[in-house]
Structure 1
Amino acid sequence: MVARTMGEAVETELEKTRRYLPWVVAVALFMQQLDGTIVNTAVPTMAVSLGVTPLSLKSVLTSYTIAIGVLIPLSGWLADRFGTKRVFGFAVAVFTLGSLACGLSRNLPMLVASRVLQGVGAAFMMPVGRIALLKTFPKSGILRAMNFVIIPALLGPLLGPLTGGLIVHWLPWRMIFLINLPIGLLGLWLVKQHMPDHRTTEADRLDTPGFLLFGSGVALLSWVLEIFGEHSMNTLWVASLAALSVALIGAYLWRAKRTPQPLLPVDLFKIRTFRVSVAGGFLTRLGISGMPFLLPLLYQLGMGFSPWQAGLLVMPQAGAAIGMKLLTERILGAFGHKQVLVGNTVLMGILIAAFSQVGPGTPVWAILLFSVCQGCVSALQFTAMNSLAYADTSDAEASDASTIASTAQQLSISFGIAFASLVTGAFLGSIDRSNPALLVPALHKAFMLLGAVSVASSVTFLTLMRSDGANVSGHGQTEPEGH
């Protein structure tokens, strides 16, 4: 009788955790996504206030994503060593403090440093939240749990562009960061109440040499991409720095294969579904990650819309993404991961390239239609890639799988922003970048190139088998597993 009562108590506690944990992670992700979309919309206004060109403000975006990419590899080890509750709470607190520092910044270097602090918090926030989800829900419930987390979090991109536009129109642009403070405090309260404390009793020692090799290589490569697009530096010098960054990353990979407990265990890439998800996801995100940076430039500088009007043009994308999230489980169950990822990746690339047809005189309804379509295909793409990554990994591999997948995702975002800025700058050349008649054609060429990269990335998903991901999506089963 006592044993039954204790078992019922444990089951009740687990059910309670499964009920509230998605909300805890969603609030943190909402804050992170809101911040990113608000900043993108406010770039032209911030550039005027700080006395720099809009393309120069890519350092505000890339410094944030580089910090995430460098530090994410530590998230799995920290979660195993100190517990998901403590590390997730630390991440939310640091992100909130970084937001306060951004709001108090008076020049570009201060703002970049504050964005790095935000990046420190963001580096541990989503990966550790994902680890908690993977260790709390069974395989058959992962897709549903991730969709539940993403739907509230997508309110950030839905509200961010319009909120950012209204703030920079009526209030000082620093308010776009200070708005995170009440959300961060709510997140800290939810962590205290409902975040489970998963940890490993005997965590491995931190692979410090591996972290230094990988982190320095990633940071250097990202910096090279930035300076190559903006500053007049000796080509040989830039090429030497790029070669050094690749050598550092290569040295880490060589070491990881010969170390018992590497920072990022490359053996996970022997799992086909994980390998294809990470590699294909990196290339796909490389193409689409530049869009949030380029679209505000097109709408505001190229077409003359105000910040809040530009925000309205972007809002349908997030709204469509929320609607598509309600259908992704059925779509993946009906067609499977392979068919969805191959076809949807090509469609996403075509839609990115379609923005090359948007310019002065384009009907608003056509822009909104493009935005809705891109939101739908992007939501389906990211859900399919993210769920596939964990289809065949064990619970013991959850921390490492989440760390590697999150690292690749953030690096692709960082490289995507730098790549978009670089190609746009290359197409512009030395011409007057404030002239819409010259800026719009350059942006159009950039959209075409980004779309081509996305279409090409669909090849990576052809290596999947039709049955891959079926234990997550239920594809090919009469009834999804777990029902």
Structure 2
Amino acid sequence: MTDPGGEPPVPPTPSERKADPRLVAAIVASALFMQNLDSSAVTTALPAMARDLAVEPARLGAAITSYLVALTVFIPVSGWVADRFGAKRVFMLAILVFTLASVLCGRATGVPELIAARVLQGAGGAMMVPVARLLLLRQIRKEEMLGAMAWLTMPAMIGPISGPPLGGFLTDAFGWQSVFLINVPIGALGIALVAWKIPAIPPTHPGPPDRLGLLLIGTALALFMFGLETIGRGVVPAGLPQAGLALGLLVGWAAIRHCRRVRKPALDFSLLRIPTFNQSTLAGSLFRIGAGTSPFLVPMLLQVGFGKTASEAGMVSFATALGALAMKPLAQPVLRRFGFRRALVGASLLAAVGIGLPAAFTPAWPLPLIFALLALGGLFRSLQFTALNTLAFADVPPARLSAATSFAGTAQQLAPALGVVLATTTLEASRSLAGREEMAVHDFAMAFLVAAAVVAASTPFFARLAPDAGQAVSGHGVTPAARRVPAE
């Protein structure tokens, strides 16, 4: 992916930049917060939506499924689109599409209209996430990457936690339509700030897209996500979810074979030859699967297991986001002191403890103590997410950033969905083995322990990193005098 003169794009020099990288990260993060908030708040509003649209709540599972399918299908093409038309322009268009689709969701009067609007919303969201990361990476130097990524990871931590309580409040106070319409002022502000404060990146000439690769990848992801989101829910005829999963894996195998053979593939699997990208993407996905269970399990445990109200559960669950906020200023000093390898190994083990600890919670535990322990767990997960998101691009050449953001975005979108599937499968298996009709606290305990084991399983992979992995980004082992010398 080169510019018209044939030279690969390089990060701008300090004199060429027009905005502070932290400001760029904060503006980009505000748009990503809108997307993450919407994804989690909609779940809370589903029962009210079902009553208003006169359908069974199970049928509205398609409103979530259609969004996730569109999101995963359009992510692989995002890097090519950003190169071809300019990352800033594409990012602004993505926010606009997401915002307008939110309005259409809020005005829907039937299930078909809602699903169509959610598909459009997913297309906009798919462009927002990887293109936002690409926009930021092309504005910063390596030594600035860690601090900027600490800002960028906050929406992923805060959105899923704050979404349920906010969605419940908006639904009760103003109706379920407000869950979508709240995106209008946020989107308008985001577009204005991007246009005003973020420098433009000129488009390049990446050549024609890998149409067959995009078709195979899109089909595989759509089938796979369809299977994951419908299995065990009874919203489609029996056997269809399993068939979707099987066909998705088969088409996915064909997509991988195709992408490994063409010169400019839709997903560049040769990026996995870069050790830091490999470990942060593959081992990071394993970590994200286990960590992705927590936003789903904690509110469920508090309401179903302990009999707390939705507002109580939402406020206690918010503790994880507060822990993530507390880690933001600490991530850079920690990684500079210990380096990526030791920080990732230590944080994954501590995060596993934090995710497994709710298995010991009982209704007798005071809520302030539960709040404090969840906040502590959020601290280590935030460090891990910041480190993974930074390390992934530490050694990627500037000319391959678009391909890397598309690949990483696709992997990161699949992991939380797999985390929810892991949680629901463990809950159902534990309940069935015990012969109970209803969920019990013991079932949640088993789900937390399984999730903790999955998180801990990522640790040996992080231990395989070189001691100096990502050194140019973390500053670990670099003398203060050397840090003051601008990178070439």
Normalised by the length of structure 1, the TM-score is 0.88
SS state at 2:415 partner = helix
* Residue number in structure 1 paired with 2:409: 406
> Which amino acid is the alignment partner of residue 95 of structure 2?
V
Distance 2:155 2:409 in 1: 20
Q: In percent, how many aligned pairs have the same letter?
A: 38
Distance 1:63 1:333 in 2: 42
Q: CA deviation at 1:205?
A: 0.7
How many pairs does the alignment contain? 470
* Residue number in structure 1 paired with 2:337: 334
Distance 2:138 2:382 in 1: 24
* Residue number in structure 2 paired with 1:4: none
Residues 230-253 of structure 1: per-residue CA shift (max 9 Å, x gap): 238656x65554332112111111
Residues 83-132 of structure 1: per-residue CA shift (max 9 Å, x gap): 01221011101111222233234455554443332221111112111111
Q: Residues 52 and 302 (structure 1 numbering): CA distance in 2 closer, same or farther, change over 3 Å?
A: farther
Q: Of residues 153, 164, 168 in structure 2, which corresponds to 1:165? A: 168
* Residue number in structure 2 paired with 1:315: 318
Q: CA deviation at 1:34?
A: 2.5
Equivalent residues of 1:34, 1:157 under 8 A apart: yes
Distance 1:99 1:21 in 2: 24
* Residue number in structure 2 paired with 1:93: 96
> Which amino acid is the alignment partner of residue 381 of structure 1?
Q
> Which amino acid is the alignment partner of residue 194 of structure 2?
V
Once the two structures are overlaid, the 10-residue window that deviates more, 402-411 or 19-28, is 19-28
Q: Does 1:34 align with 2:37?
A: yes
> Which amino acid is the alignment partner of residue 476 of structure 2?
H
Q: Does 1:126 align with 2:129?
A: yes
Residues 264-285 of structure 1: per-residue CA shift (max 9 Å, x gap): 1111111011001100111111
Q: CA deviation at 1:60?
A: 4.2
SS state at 1:132 partner = helix
> Which amino acid is the alignment partner of residue 345 of structure 2?
V
Normalised by the length of structure 2, the TM-score is 0.88
* Residue number in structure 2 paired with 1:6: none
Once the two structures are overlaid, the 10-residue window that deviates more, 45-54 or 304-313, is 45-54
* Residue number in structure 2 paired with 1:459: 460
Distance 1:47 1:455 in 2: 39
Q: Residues 286 and 156 (structure 1 numbering): CA distance in 2 closer, same or farther, change over 3 Å?
A: closer
Distance 2:484 2:30 in 1: 27
Once the two structures are overlaid, the 10-residue window that deviates more, 301-310 or 175-184, is 301-310
1:37-76 matched pairs, under 5 angstroms? 37-42=40-45, 59-76=62-79
Equivalent residues of 1:286, 1:412 under 8 A apart: yes
Equivalent residues of 2:71, 2:122 under 8 A apart: yes
Q: Residues 112 and 450 (structure 1 numbering): CA distance in 2 closer, same or farther, change over 3 Å?
A: farther
> Which amino acid is the alignment partner of residue 96 of structure 2?
A
Residues 45-92 of structure 1: per-residue CA shift (max 9 Å, x gap): 666766788787665444433322221111100000010122101110
Residues 163-197 of structure 1: per-residue CA shift (max 9 Å, x gap): 33322343323322211110011111122223333
Q: CA deviation at 1:35?
A: 2.0
Distance 1:88 1:329 in 2: 27
Distance 2:56 2:422 in 1: 17
Equivalent residues of 2:147, 2:332 under 8 A apart: yes
Residues 413-442 of structure 1: per-residue CA shift (max 9 Å, x gap): 222223323333343449887x5xx34333
> Which amino acid is the alignment partner of residue 475 of structure 2?
G
Q: Residues 305 and 100 (structure 1 numbering): CA distance in 2 closer, same or farther, change over 3 Å?
A: farther
Equivalent residues of 1:264, 1:404 under 8 A apart: yes
Q: Does 1:478 align with 2:479?
A: yes
Q: Residues 55 and 473 (structure 1 numbering): CA distance in 2 closer, same or farther, change over 3 Å?
A: farther
> Which amino acid is the alignment partner of residue 222 of structure 1?
M
Q: Of residues 220, 229, 236 in structure 1, which corresponds to 2:223? A: 220
> Which amino acid is the alignment partner of residue 28 of structure 1?
A
Equivalent residues of 2:18, 2:198 under 8 A apart: no
Distance 2:404 2:184 in 1: 31
Distance 2:49 2:310 in 1: 11
Distance 1:374 1:417 in 2: 18
Distance 1:248 1:169 in 2: 43
1:35-434 matched pairs, under 5 angstroms? 35-42=38-45, 59-106=62-109, 110-151=113-154, 156=159, 159-231=162-234, 239-429=242-432
Equivalent residues of 2:306, 2:362 under 8 A apart: yes
Equivalent residues of 1:427, 1:442 under 8 A apart: yes
Q: Residues 366 and 111 (structure 1 numbering): CA distance in 2 closer, same or farther, change over 3 Å?
A: farther
Distance 2:295 2:55 in 1: 19
5+ residue gaps, structure 1, are 1-9
SS state at 1:14 partner = coil
Once the two structures are overlaid, the 10-residue window that deviates more, 462-471 or 237-246, is 237-246
Equivalent residues of 1:79, 1:199 under 8 A apart: no
Once the two structures are overlaid, the 10-residue window that deviates more, 144-153 or 255-264, is 144-153
For the aligned residues, what is the CA RMSD? Answer: 2.8
Once the two structures are overlaid, the 10-residue window that deviates more, 124-133 or 98-107, is 98-107
> Which amino acid is the alignment partner of residue 423 of structure 1?
T
